[in-house]
Amino acid sequence: MLSIEEIRRNPKQPRVDFDTKELESLAQSIRKFGVIQPIIVKPSSVFGYEIVAGERRFRASQLAGKTRIPAIIRSYDVAEVETIALLENIQREDLNPIEEAVAYQNILANQQLTHEKLAQRVGKSRAYLTNMLRLLSLPKEVQMSLKTGELSNAQARTLLALKTKAQQLDLAKQAIEQGLTVRQLEAIVRLKQAGKSTKLREENIFLAEVEEDLKKHFGTTVVIKGSDTKGKIELSYADLEELNRILALLKPPKEE
């Protein structure tokens, strides 16, 4: 049992935002049952001990008015502390995507690791790690929407396909205002990349999704012209063989 006053927070804690309501809820539990799982600390070079894992429990214990907290004391070097703090938060899914990306970026810089080495250390694929780091290239306003949960990780990754930050920001605002899904965002991005007008699709965005599904089903170019109430569907074919294949797909299944 260590005195709360002997413990200092981890300056390399990857988690920045701690939900006040969640902390108060945990504090109430600690007032009644105490801290069930000890925090992990290491001797501090400044004074007392430094938290390695368990800062949320430490903060909640302070709110609960506790003066002592159960702790496991271990010896770690700086690199190990940084990695363990990140892993604990990843395992608990406590980090928002930007906090996680910043933590990866800091470890890469401080420990001079390659993407491959860090991916192995944290149990992620190299592609996952690279995609997370790319989120930090998004406009600050978009990153804030990721932090608050207005945008999902998948939505933000879709925005990365756009060429300019202005386009990314505009589409992010549209996604939030209209509640666009990832597939709807992907459809708009494809149209923008092709230099096509997105006005119709932005007004009737589900048509773009239907168009994409039909392309996959028929294996050919499909164009929907019109609105959600009236229009036509055009299917392209290159030769007689492809026409017959499409016609076969259009035929209803025979009744048994």
Any idea which residues carry the catalytic annotation? 55
Containing 222, the helix (H) or strand (E) segment is: strand 222-226
Q: Phi, psi at residue 63, to the nearest 5°?
A: -65, -35
For 35-146, strand residue ranges (E) read 39-43, 49-53, 68-69, 71-73
Tokens for 68, please give them.
């002592």
Return d(Cα 198, Cα 195) in angstroms, integer.
Answer: 9
DSSP 10-44: -TT-S-----HHHHHHHHHHHHHH--SS-EEEEE-
Return d(Cα 215, Cα 103) in angstroms, integer.
Answer: 40
Asked if 221 and 236 touch (Cβ cutoff 8 Å), the reply is yes
Q: Where are the alpha helices (DSSP H) in 153-218?
A: 153-159, 165-178, 182-193, 199-203, 206-218
